[in-house]
Structures are given as C-alpha cells and as structure tokens.
Structure 1
Amino acid sequence: MAIDPNLISPDEFMDSSDDEPEEEEEEEIDEVGRPLDVAEDGKVVKTITSLGTGRLKPGPGAVVSLYYTATLDDGTPVATHARPKAPFQFTLGAGEVSKGWDCGVATMKKGEQATLRCAPEYAGGPPAAAGPDAAVRFDVELVSWVEWKDVSELQDGTIMKTIVTEGGGARTPDFDAVVTVSWRLTLEDPTGDATPEALEEKEGVVFTVGAEEVAPKGLEKAVQTMLDGEEAVVRL
C-alpha cells in the first residue's frame, strides 16, 4: 500500500514530556559565489550560482533529477542535457556517474544551481567523459530527488518513507505525544501510469503516539519520524 502526498501530514503535535527542547545544530549558510572544496582534497570545487530551497540534501541511494552543461576549461562544450528534455536521472552513490558528480550533487539543495569544477580523476565517466587528462566544469541545476528511507522498527523494508514537503523545527513526536494527522490511503500502481483511487482519506485525525488508535498499521511509526508540517509518501 502507499500513502500519497497530502496523505501523511502532521499538522501539529503536542509533546507530553517535560524534557527541555533540544538545541538545533548550526547549519552552514549557503552563499552564492563562494568556492567550496566539497571533496576536501581540492579536486571538486563547487560554486553556487543560485540558492536552493529548504534544508534537505539528497543522500546515498536517492534518485536525483537534474539538468547540466559540461565544458572544458577553455570553454569547449562536452555534453549538455537541458530543457525541454526530461531531467537527467541517476542514483546517488551507486557509481553510475563520475566521482565528482556523486560528491558534488550530494551537497546541493532542491532547485540549487551550481558550478562543479572537477579534476580529471573526478571527471571521468558518465555523463560527460572528456578523456583521462581533462578537467571538466559542470553547470548543474538540481531539480528534485526521491529518497526512500526504511523507518520500520526492524529495518526490514516494511515501512518506507520519502519526504515530499519539509516540516519545520527539529523535533519529531515522542511516545505519548498527541498529534494531528491527515492522510490518503491508496493501493500502489506498479506501472506508475495511473492515478490510484483513494481507499481512505482522513483529515485532522487526533491521536496519541503509542496508543495504537489508528490504522493502517505502520502509519503511527512513520509519523514518529516526521517534523511539524511535513508531508511524505509512505509505502507499507
């Protein structure tokens, strides 16, 4: 089964514990035009040209969608994949593209545009092989990505979640927290060609985490991993 976007959305939650709020970690502030040594050896340098949105970045296993143009240092074009084509896709960290791409794209946010200057040993391989001795400049726009995370208690793949819309804050609902959740339950279409019919739609359901008051099974566990206002797709 799948729970679709707008399906799981913790509109708010109240934590019944008396614990002090956890301090949020300081996040590095993105800056247009500042070179970043993303490989930490000087061989992949990223320069943001247009800021992305949100806080999330794709992790290993995420299927990323992007547009790019590749050129040599002297401006000679190597490859391009631009609109109106569908975005170029690859699985991050799977070795499907050059090491420079795996390294650089992992540091980008949704909608971010950046230049990745890759030394020859990081530039070889798809999508723009330019020879073993060529450094390559990639102008990249990260459109989106899909990243499934196993949120099941046994880490056995029975509850998988991907975030559609980021939530706010830094805390997720604790045991005994009172949450307000909306969801849309459908059967998953294996072809992805059709819009699945809703089996159940609920708006603003209030329940206590851990009280086993709601169905379907697995929904409660997924909610425990979500931030206030987050929207996600969950596979059960």
Structure 2
Amino acid sequence: MMTNLFSIFDPSTNLLFIPFNWISTFLGLLFIPYSFWLIPNRYYFIWNLILNKLHKEFKTLLNSNSNGSTFIFISMFVFILFNNFLGLFPYIFTSTSHLTLSLSISLPLWLSFMLYGWINNTQHMFMHMIPQGTPGILMPFMVLIETISNIIRPGTLAVRLSANMIAGHLLMTLLSSTSSNLYFYFIVILIFIQILLLILESAVAVIQSYVIAILSTLYSSEVN
C-alpha cells in the first residue's frame, strides 16, 4: 500500500541514493538521429508539418524576419512535450512535474529576455510599464503592478506546468489505489474512467507544452 501519495514524484532511487530517474529527461536525444538515417515515412512528414506550423505561428508572434529566432521555442515545445508524454508510461519518472526542471527552463529564458530588453531597448521597456492612456495619478500604481507581474512570470510558467502534471497523475494514482476494495463491476467502470483520464492527460501534455512555448514567445516579442 502506498504510504505517501506524493511518493510517485520522488526522483531518488535505491542505487547508492543517486537520482538516476532524471536520466529519463534525456531519452529524447536517442530519437534525434531518426530523421537523418531512416527513410522518410508518415510519422516524419506529420512531425515536419507540425514543426512548420509552429515555426510560422511563432514567427508571426515575434514579428521578426529572422527564421532562426523560432528554433529555441520549437525546441522547448518538443522537449516539454516529450517529457510530458514520457511521464504517462508506467514506472517512468515525470521530470516536468518538478519545479527543478520547469524553473530551469523558464528562469534563464526570462532573464535573457529582461537583460536583452533593458540593455538594448531601455526606452521601450520603460514605456511598457505604463499602458497608453493611463491617468497620471495611476501611473505609480501601474508601474508597481507591471513590475510585479513581470517578476513573477518565470514562477507562473514553472508552476503552471508542474501543477498540471501533478494534478493529473495524482488523480489517476488516487483512483487506481482504491481498486483493490471494489467489486468486479466497479473495477470495469474504474478502468473506463482511467482510460478517459489517460486521454485527458495526453491532451494536457500537448496543451501545456504549447502554452509554455506560446507564452515564452509572447514574452520575447515584448522586449523587441
């Protein structure tokens, strides 16, 4: 019986107390050579179609003529998407449910945007603090509100991703832990509910990776 519901998110193992579960985060690197030496198939063309759609959308949001400016956001989308889906498989560690990983993605990205904006577009960053048409008496409060909302952006990005991953996994674990005390008919219903939850979690895995990439793109467009 599970003594702690949150033990499914424990990254440590019993092998010399080294967190080998984090290695699952880098399993996606094994699939990189796939597109270089295999004959293109339906999977390859569908994946290319998705990446091209994302490239066009991110390029529109960035308002930039540089084609390479979207690569970092597409790579982040693919990385988060892979780890979200990997966590849906049994006995595989969900790295995106930890703030250690999500903050490691959002915080350096946000810091680079802020440093670039304040160094190269200082006047634009000051203008962004006060929306157009704001009354003079409200300007100090607007600056304070905009500053706070700017500072908490990496935290909201990280917590949004981790909380959504934790919520779905906890719900599935909680439902599955009650199956030993149910009759056969209720177990069949429970299995059907678990399948629906798994489909929902698959959708959440895609949506959350897309939301993180889109928000990061919007934050980047604000400093140009």
TM-score bucket (shorter structure): under 0.3
Structure with the bigger percentage of helix? 2
TM-score (norm 1): 0.24
